[in-house]
Amino acid sequence: MGDKKNKKKNYYLVDYENVHKSGLNGIEELRRTDTVIIFYSENADSLSFELHHYLAQSKAVVKYIKVDTEGKNALDFQLSSYIGYLIGRNEHCKCYIVSNDKGYHNVRDFWKKRDAKIRMVSCIRSQTGSTGVKKSNILETLQEISLNEEEKNLIAEIVKQQLKTGAPQLSRLKTNINNELIHHFGTEKTKTIYAAIKPLIK
């Protein structure tokens, strides 16, 4: 029987061995109804004090599962099994596999055929925030600024790449984008550019 109390909950299953701390980017945007489950092994078992502090600021429930069994794919198998456990408890939940390992595509496809809600993302922010911004959106916001097409395309590429790379905190992500724009366009011109694109970075 499904767990009615967990209805509409989101679960983020993090393959920490694969994505490390970059996979946790965006965790500060989650809600109390969200749960993050970090799967890690001895190959990747170190979390800095800064990262612990960052995780503690999240409203989401954060759990840790250490994979003790040795073997090349031990973490993958246990994470995949846990998804089945979550879906069995609550068919209405949404599961996000936070990993760049394409092997999980088989797990996602298996459950999608059974109407389960599963997505693969490279980091939590991929689902919650700015990485979904299209290049066309960025170019559109730059229409009112005196820039040539080459400059507009460069700005769009800078923003997209920074959003993809991510940062532990949204404020740091914004700073990184601003600094790279300054590197290419100088301080004064960047003020105008950044003011235009800032609403997209969230």
Higher-confidence position of 183 and 47: 183
- Among 59-68, 95-104, 164-173, the minimum mean pLDDT is found in 164-173
**Residue 75 pLDDT > 50, yes or no?**
yes
Alpha-carbon distance of 191 to 171, in angstroms, equals: 16
**Residue 194 pLDDT > 70, yes or no?**
yes
Higher-confidence position of 54 and 16: 16
123-142 pLDDT, tens digit per residue, is 887 665 555 577 788 888 89
- Among 6-10, 104-108, 134-138, the minimum mean pLDDT is found in 6-10
Q: pLDDT over 90 for what percent of the chain? A: 44
| pLDDT at residue 21, as a whole number | 86
- In order of their start, the domains of the chain are 4-128 (3.40.50), 130-200 (no CATH)
Higher-confidence position of 76 and 161: 76
CA distances from 158 to 176, 178, 201 (A): 10, 10, 12
Amino acid at 126: S
Contacts of 164 (CB under 8 A, 6+ apart): 122, 131
pLDDT, averaged across the chain: 85
| pLDDT at residue 39, as a whole number | 93
- Among 38-47, 82-91, 149-158, the minimum mean pLDDT is found in 38-47
User: Whole-model pTM above 0.75?
Assistant: no
Using CA atoms of 86, 20, 50, 41 in order, give the dihedral in degrees to the nearest 10: 70
